[in-house]
Amino acid sequence: MRGQRPGPMDADYEDLVASAETWVVTDGTDDIKGFVVLLPSPDDFVLDNIAVRPENQGQGYGRHLLALAEARANAVGAKAIRLYTHETMVENQRLYGRIGYVETSRRDDRGFGRVFFEKTLTS
């Protein structure tokens, strides 16, 4: 929806940190470069949110967080990781395709045009 705030801007992060698996990436200091929020279940992991600070994008932090999500999913024997992104985030969509995610659907979800992806895990 045009002019609508992105969904993650209104997320209750205090609740997410308490109820989900949340990881941050730093450069060894207290400066957080990015984070990932995972919602694990026995069959699949939902990558609920991933973000890298704009000034730190292009430095590999996002790929590191995506690899962490896969490692965590593999550690509990999940068969797949699912995620979604906004339909306007075409760079994210291309990245997900390059690293093995397959688009499964496009639909309106809670007022947002979203693109859904899934990656089957082999280990």
- Residue 71: the pLDDT is 92
Share of the chain above pLDDT 70, in %: 82
Sheet with 32-40, side-by-side order of all strands: 21-26, 32-40, 44-52, 80-86, 112-120, 102-109
Query: Bigger pLDDT: 23 or 15?
Result: 23
Tell me how many degrees the CA angle 32-37-35 measures, rounded to the nearest 5: 15
Can you list the domains of the chain with their CATH numbers? 7-120 (3.40.630.30)
Write down the H helix ranges in 11-119: 13-19, 61-75, 90-98
Render pLDDT for 48-92 as a digit per residue (tens, 0 to 9): 888 899 999 999 999 999 999 999 998 888 899 999 998 988 988
Write down the H helix ranges in the chain: 13-19, 61-75, 90-98
109 confidence band (pLDDT: 50, 70, 90): confident
What mean pLDDT value characterizes the chain? 84
Query: Bigger pLDDT: 74 or 3?
Result: 74
| Arithmetic mean of pLDDT, 99-108 | 94
Structure tokens at 35: 């984070």
6 confidence band (pLDDT: 50, 70, 90): very low
Structure tokens at 76: 């509990």
Residue 21 has pLDDT above 80, yes or no: yes
- Residue 28: the pLDDT is 84
- Which residues are bridge partners to 115 per DSSP? 85, 106
Q: Judge whether 81 and 45 are in contact, CB under 8 Å.
A: yes
95 by Cβ neighbours in 10 Å (0-12 / 13-18 / 19+) ranks as middle
- Residue 13: the pLDDT is 55
